[in-house]
Structure 1
Amino acid sequence: QNRISAFFDKDVVVYQSQQSYMAMARGGLYGEGVAKSRQRRFLPEPQKDFIFAVTVEEYGTVGGTILIIFYLILLYRGLKAIEATKRPFGGLLSAGLTFIVVSQAFSAMAVTVGLVPVTGQTLPFFSQGGTSLLFTGMAMGMILSVSRGEILEEKRI
């Protein structure tokens, strides 16, 4: 309750969000450079929850925009895999897993820029975290399997 009420109180900025805003502001348009993030030392869990802030600080707004474009391309390609399947299950599986991965990414980015309260959501493919990376990899494997086409149906005699 305290986290949610602190989010809606505009006079209070949580320490994590404050450090995140400072990191993104330092990045500017083109960023500080690769591995030159200074706010990484002050951000709690910079390699997990706030990796997008570190990315924007190092690569700038241009790098953050490119990362968003990559996730939109992933959304497009995941939904394009629906066309490759002949069965509804494959298409629904591909669409569902694609939406899960992309919505998790945009949720993590929304936390970083302050649109939603801090949740601890990881950024797929970028955040350090074994379980998140494992399940994201499994989801992408299933999407790729659907996009390659269905297994040949058994011949009916």
Structure 2
Amino acid sequence: MRYDIVFNAPTAAEAYEQAPPLAEESATVAGLLRELEPEHRPAYLGTALPSEEREVLLRRAACADRQWWATRNAADGLAAVAVGFALMQFDQSHPDEVGGPIGPDSVEWDAEGGVQAYVRQEYQHWLTVPPGCADPCPEADPCVWHAR
């Protein structure tokens, strides 16, 4: 018996619609990665916070996914799955950092393409929903962003 699981993860086009150009985002991620390295991090900042590590990992995973969509190259596809899987593992260890509606340990992501779908869900949420927003906000008490 076979069960097909249907869920509402964004497509690549939807997830990356508002994203900066891939080359620009890749350069930004490279700079952020460098800033996380202890030898390049100002002492007053201390050790990187999980939220900082996650942002870099999420943006790396999105760049890898976008690269694969641009090339459809098998090596790029493997790289996208590897970085996306690393994001999922990180999120399972840091559930308070997860933004999207479907958590990293949900069965929805077990299907083929599930890792990339998880990356797209999380990137779209990161890109479009402000930090601290419950999304959806309660109508009686919306966050500043949703009150606009």
Instruction: Report the TM-score, using the length of structure 2 for normalisation.
Output: 0.30
- Bigger relative contact order, structure 1 or 2 (CA pairs below 8 A, ≥6 apart): 2
Instruction: Report the TM-score, using the length of structure 1 for normalisation.
Output: 0.28
Could you say which structure has the larger radius of gyration? 1
